């Protein structure tokens, strides 16, 4: 009988599991914000997050569509590895719920960078993905180009103050030109993040304490 250590499955600085940190910028000014299934762009913000809530149900649905695309993005990014979203900054023209998001920046920390693939193809099929950066860019683009319907709790200002309606929310591609959607997404790796290489691993005698 023998035991084989699954080194890639342990959070051991001397093992194979290496985290990685990528920054993301999605410039959304060119995306449609019409009161349609294509509107709403992508955002984690809910109606209650704004200083002034959306004034109509149509505008509130745009907020919900942005949330739904954000959820779809997370689902796509987490297929291969667990992750955390950090350092998020959203940019709006103002703090009113009727104001569209124009830009979002955030960091992605993958638990195991080895599980993030490098091969695939972009959403329009024109380019093969050969790096992890291109793979991440493609997964985000998928959320911005997909057709999807899901029941959500939506703030409905026309039914009385603070009322929530359970409705089916549908999202469609944020614009017709898939190549321009991909170009709006900028991904970069933060080199050296939690690399756990041998040179950064302390030796057994690097630091000792004594009760004497």
pLDDT per residue as tens digits for the range 159-177: 765 588 889 999 999 998 8
Residue 178 has pLDDT above 80, yes or no: yes
- Over the chain, what is the mean pLDDT? 85
Tokens 């999605």 belong to residue = 26
Q: How far apart, in whole angstroms, are the C-alpha atoms of residue 149 and residue 169? A: 6
Which strands, in side-by-side order, build the sheet including 101-110? 83-92, 101-110, 20-27, 185-189
Q: What is the pTM of this model?
A: 0.82
- 106-115 pLDDT, tens digit per residue, is 999 999 888 9
**Predicted confidence (pLDDT) per residue in 26-77, tens digit:** 999 999 999 999 999 999 999 999 999 999 999 999 999 999 999 999 999 9
Model confidence over 75-102: pLDDT tens digits? 999 998 999 999 999 999 999 999 999 9
CA distance 145 to 161: 33
Paired strand residues for 21: 109
* Band of residue 195 on the pLDDT scale cut at 50, 70, 90: low
Helical packing angle, 132-145 and 57-77, nearest 10°: 150
DSSP SS3 for 20: strand
């Amino acid at each position: 009988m023998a035991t084989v250590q699954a080194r890639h499955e342990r959070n051991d600085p001397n093992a194979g599991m290496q985290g990685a940190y990528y920054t993301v910028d999605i410039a959304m000014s060119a995306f449609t914000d019409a009161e349609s299934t294509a509107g709403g762009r992508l955002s984690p913000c809910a109606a209650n997050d704004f200083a002034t809530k959306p004034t109509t149900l149509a505008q509130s649905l745009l907020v919900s569509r942005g949330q739904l695309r954000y959820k779809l993005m997370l689902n796509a990014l987490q297929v291969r590895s667990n992750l955390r979203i950090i350092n998020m900054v959203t940019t709006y023209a103002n703090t009113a719920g009727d104001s569209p998001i124009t830009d979002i920046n955030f960091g992605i920390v993958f638990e195991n960078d080895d599980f993030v693939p490098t091969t695939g193809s972009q959403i329009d099929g024109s380019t093969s993905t050969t790096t992890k950066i291109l793979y991440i860019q493609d997964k985000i683009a998928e959320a911005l180009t997909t057709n999807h319907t899901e029941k959500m709790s939506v703030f409905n200002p026309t039914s009385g103050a603070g009322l929530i309606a359970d409705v089916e929310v549908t999202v469609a591609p944020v614009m017709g030109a898939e190549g321009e959607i991909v170009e709006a997404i900028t991904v970069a790796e933060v080199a050296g993040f939690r690399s756990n290489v041998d040179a950064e691993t302390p030796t057994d005698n690097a630091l000792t304490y004594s009760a004497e």
